[in-house]
Structure 1
C-alpha cells in the first residue's frame, strides 16, 4: 500500500497531461512488489517511485514540490524526487517534518505554502512551515477540537481556494449504523467549515501542550462552524470544484445491510458522491446544511435486490423492517438530500481530486471487505462539466466512474494487490 500512495499522489501532480508516474524497467527502477502490477488505461503510465512508508494516508505536494505524506503511527514525512529523461522519477531524500503518532489522515497547506495543517481523531492543528527547508518552524496550534469518537476516526481537511480562510473538516460515525448521527448536536457524521483566518496566527500555550491561537479557545466542532451537511456516514474524501467552487465529498456507506428480513448487502447501498454547497458568499445552494440520510436512509445501487422498492439507482430507501414511521417516504428527496452520483457498493472511496480545468475528478477506491467478490481497489475518473461544475452523467448512472488504474484480478485483495489511498 505504501507504494500505491506515492503513485496516487504523483498522479495528481501530472493529471493535466494525463500522466501517472508509479515504477518501470525503462527508468531503471529497482523496486519490486509481491503482487502483480496494476492495469493502466490508455494514455497513462505507471511506475513505482517509493516504498517503506508506514501506513500512508493523506498526501499533499508543497510549493517546493516536496511530497508530504501522513504516515499513521509516525507523523508527516517529506519526500523529494528527481525527474530525468522526461518521465523518470527517482526519490532523492526523505525527511521527518512532524513526529506525532496521533496524526492519522488529514493534511492541508495554506495558499502561500507557509502553514501546514493536520488532524488526529480529536483535533485540527497548524504549524508554521518552511517548504524549501522541509521543516516546521513552530509548536502546534490547536484550531478545532471535540471530534473524538470511535470507529471512523479520520478527519479530512480542505482549505478553500474560493473563500479565504475557510477550512472544511469531515467527521464520520462511531459505528456501522450510528444512532447518535440522527442527533445534530452530537457532531457525528457531519461536514463543517470553519473560518480559521479569524483565529489569527499567534501562539499561546494551554494545558494540552499544544497552543491555542491569539490566546482564544479553539473552535468546538459540535457547536461552532458552518454546517455543510449531516447524515453523512463517513465522507472521507472532499474537494472544491475549481470553476464554480462547489464542494463535493465521497462517502463510504454502510455494511451488512438488511431490509425486510433479507440480506441485501452484496450490491447495496451505493457509495456516494455528494454535493455540499458553496463556501463563497456569491452563490447559494439548497443542498447546504441538509440531512443526507444516514443512519435512516441509503442510496440504491442494485434496485432489483431491494425488497418492496420502486425507486431508481441513486434514490434513497429505508432499511430494517418497514412501518408507518420507517419507510421510503421518509427517505424521499423532499426529506433527505440524495447523492449526486452513486458507485458500486463497498468500493470505499478515500479521496477526490479535481484537475485544474474542472473537467475531471479523480477518485481513489480503497476497496471492499464486506463482499465475497472484492470490488474497488482502483483509481477512477469522473467527467465534469466545466461550466456548471456538475458531473456529466445523471444521478441514475452506473457508469460515471471510468477506471484509470486497477487490478486485473481482485481475488488476492486486499493484501496482495494495488490498493490506493489519497
Structure 2
C-alpha cells in the first residue's frame, strides 16, 4: 500500500477521533462516562451501560442474560440490561447474589450454568445457582484452599474450561514484587493450575499440592483464556517493577508484559505445559536499547535480572525458561483476555501503569489470531496489540481515567468491559450497534468511529503492507487513540 494512501488513512483517523468525542444522539437515555468520552478506533462504538458499582472486576453473563459482577471487597452482584443494538443500559436495581467482602476478583460458571464459582485471596468457593431467579440456592462449598492471605497479589483468576467440562483453572500470583519462594514450584505461588471440580469430595483441594500444573514462574497472570477452536490456553502476565540490570534501574520501558501459551487441556501434547516461565530471575525484553549488556537480545528475549554470573545469565534464561508468545509494552497491566467465538482475535484489557513516569495503558486492545490457536504476529513483534478504546488524555491517569478490568461477551457478540476505578460497565459494538466478534470485518467495514454520529471508513493497516506499515501504524493509531500501558503494584 502506498505511503500517500496510508497518510490519507491517518487523516481519516483524525476525523474519526474527533467524532468519537461527541455523545451518541441515537441513545437519549445513555449514561455519560465518568471522565468524558473515550477515544475509539474507526468502526467501533463504546457506550456506558451501567455505573455506580463498587470496584467491578470480573464479569460474566449467566444463562438468563444477567450480568454477574464481582465487586471487589463486597461480593457478587447481578445486573439486568435492556435495550437494543448500541442503546443498552441497566434496568432495575443491582441485585446482590453473594454478599462476601472477602471476594475480590475470580468468577466462573459451570457449563450448564447451575454452579457459580468465586475466589478470595485464600480460597475458591462454589454455590448452586439459579440464573432465572438470579440467586444462589444453597450454602457455599470450599473447593480449593491454602492460597495465602491478603498480601501481595491477591487475585485468584478463575476460568472454567469449555473444552474439558469440569476443569477449573486457577491463576495465583506472587507475594510481592520479587518473590523468591516462587523458585520452588511446590509452594504453588506464581502458578496456573487446573482442578477437576466435577468430582469434589468432602475435603477441599490444597492448592500447593493438588491440581494439574500448566505453568509456573508466572509473576501475576491475572488474565487467562481458552481458545475456542484449538483449546489452547493463554495468559497475560503483569511483569516486575523497578527492575535492575548491571547496576542500573531500567524500569521505564522494561521488562515487557507477556502473552504466554500454556498448551492444552484436551490431551494434545505440548512441550510448554507445566514449564517455568522465568520469574523471579528471567524477564522478557521490550526496549532492548535500554538494557545494559544487551548483546544478542531482541524484543521478547528472556534476559536475566541483576548482574549476570555463572548461574543467572541471559543464556540460561533463554535455554531453560519459556519465552512469551507475544510481548506488550512495559507496565500495561493486562488484567483479562477473551477470545472471540471463531478464535481470530483475543481481546486484552490494559489496566494501566502506576510505576512509570509517563502513564501508559488504560485501554482495550486486541491481538489478531489465525483461527487455529496462534497469534498472527511474529514472536518479536512490537505491534501485535491493536488499540480499540483508550483514555483520551493519559496525563490525567490514573486519577481521572477509566481503568479496564473484566471482559465478557453476550449472545449477540457485543463485548462488555468493567472499569474498577469508575464503577462503570462499558459495551463495545460496531458503530451500528451490532457485535464485534469479527474484528477484521469491523475495522475494514465499519463506518465512522466511537460514540459519535459521523460517518466514513478507514481500513486498518496490516503488517502485509510492509515497511510503510511499520512506519505508519504508530501515526495511524495515535490519531485514533492515546497510546498507553501500565501495571498496578497489586492487581
Query: Equivalent residue for 2:289?
Result: 304
Asked whether the equivalents of residues 111 and 165 of structure 2 are also in contact (C-alpha less than 8 Å), the reply is: no
Encode CA deviations 1:201-257: one digit per residue, 9 max, x unaligned: xxxxxxxxxxxxx4x211111000100000000000000001110000000000011
Query: Equivalent residue for 2:237?
Result: 251
2:337 to 348, 352, 355: 352
Give the Å deviation of 1:30: 5.5
Is 1:402 aligned to 2:403, yes or no? no
Is 1:413 aligned to 2:412, yes or no? no
Query: Equivalent residue for 1:187?
Result: 188
Instruction: Please report the TM-score for the alignment, with normalisation by the length of structure 1.
Output: 0.89
The separation in 2 between residues aligned to 1:418 and 1:326, in whole angstroms, is: 39
The separation in 1 between residues aligned to 2:161 and 2:311, in whole angstroms, is: 39
Query: Equivalent residue for 1:370?
Result: 355
Asked whether the equivalents of residues 24 and 48 of structure 1 are also in contact (C-alpha less than 8 Å), the reply is: no
Encode CA deviations 1:176-200: one digit per residue, 9 max, x unaligned: 000001011111100000111121x
Query: Equivalent residue for 2:434?
Result: none
1:266 to 240, 252, 271: 252
Query: Equivalent residue for 1:361?
Result: 346
The separation in 1 between residues aligned to 2:30 and 2:236, in whole angstroms, is: 35
Instruction: Please report the TM-score for the alignment, with normalisation by the length of structure 2.
Output: 0.76
Give the Å deviation of 1:302: 0.3
Asked whether the equivalents of residues 29 and 48 of structure 1 are also in contact (C-alpha less than 8 Å), the reply is: no
SS where residue 27 of structure 1 aligns?
coil
Query: Equivalent residue for 2:435?
Result: none
The separation in 2 between residues aligned to 1:113 and 1:34, in whole angstroms, is: 33
The separation in 1 between residues aligned to 2:68 and 2:25, in whole angstroms, is: 26
Asked whether the equivalents of residues 33 and 48 of structure 2 are also in contact (C-alpha less than 8 Å), the reply is: no
Give the Å deviation of 1:306: 0.5
SS where residue 337 of structure 2 aligns?
strand
SS where residue 168 of structure 2 aligns?
strand
Matches within 5 A, 1:21-420: 24-29=24-29, 31-84=31-84, 86-93=85-92, 94-149=94-149, 150-199=151-200, 214=201, 216-281=202-267, 283-309=268-294, 310-332=296-318, 334-387=319-372, 389-420=373-404
Asked whether the equivalents of residues 24 and 46 of structure 1 are also in contact (C-alpha less than 8 Å), the reply is: no
The separation in 2 between residues aligned to 1:227 and 1:369, in whole angstroms, is: 31
Asked whether the equivalents of residues 106 and 157 of structure 1 are also in contact (C-alpha less than 8 Å), the reply is: yes
Asked whether the equivalents of residues 81 and 91 of structure 1 are also in contact (C-alpha less than 8 Å), the reply is: yes
Unaligned runs of at least 5 residues, structure 2:
1-22, 407-491
The separation in 2 between residues aligned to 1:137 and 1:24, in whole angstroms, is: 41
The separation in 2 between residues aligned to 1:328 and 1:45, in whole angstroms, is: 44
Give the Å deviation of 1:348: 0.0
RMSD of aligned C-alpha atoms?
Answer: 1.1
Asked whether the equivalents of residues 259 and 320 of structure 1 are also in contact (C-alpha less than 8 Å), the reply is: yes
Structure 1 residue ranges, 4+ long, deviating more than 2 angstroms after superposition:
23-26, 29-34
> Given the superposition, is the C-alpha separation of residues 241 and 34 from structure 1 closer, same or farther in structure 2, using an over 3 Å criterion?
closer
Asked whether the equivalents of residues 353 and 362 of structure 1 are also in contact (C-alpha less than 8 Å), the reply is: yes
Give the Å deviation of 1:24: 4.0
Give the Å deviation of 1:360: 0.5
SS where residue 181 of structure 1 aligns?
helix
Higher mean C-alpha displacement, 233-242 vs 146-155: 146-155
The separation in 2 between residues aligned to 1:64 and 1:80, in whole angstroms, is: 10
Asked whether the equivalents of residues 236 and 351 of structure 1 are also in contact (C-alpha less than 8 Å), the reply is: yes
> Given the superposition, is the C-alpha separation of residues 230 and 111 from structure 1 closer, same or farther in structure 2, using an over 3 Å criterion?
same
Asked whether the equivalents of residues 31 and 47 of structure 2 are also in contact (C-alpha less than 8 Å), the reply is: no
Asked whether the equivalents of residues 237 and 351 of structure 1 are also in contact (C-alpha less than 8 Å), the reply is: yes
The separation in 2 between residues aligned to 1:274 and 1:284, in whole angstroms, is: 16
Unaligned runs of at least 5 residues, structure 1:
1-22, 200-213
Encode CA deviations 1:97-124: one digit per residue, 9 max, x unaligned: 0000000000000111111100000111
The separation in 2 between residues aligned to 1:87 and 1:302, in whole angstroms, is: 39
The separation in 1 between residues aligned to 2:196 and 2:283, in whole angstroms, is: 31
The separation in 1 between residues aligned to 2:33 and 2:366, in whole angstroms, is: 25
Give the Å deviation of 1:87: 2.6
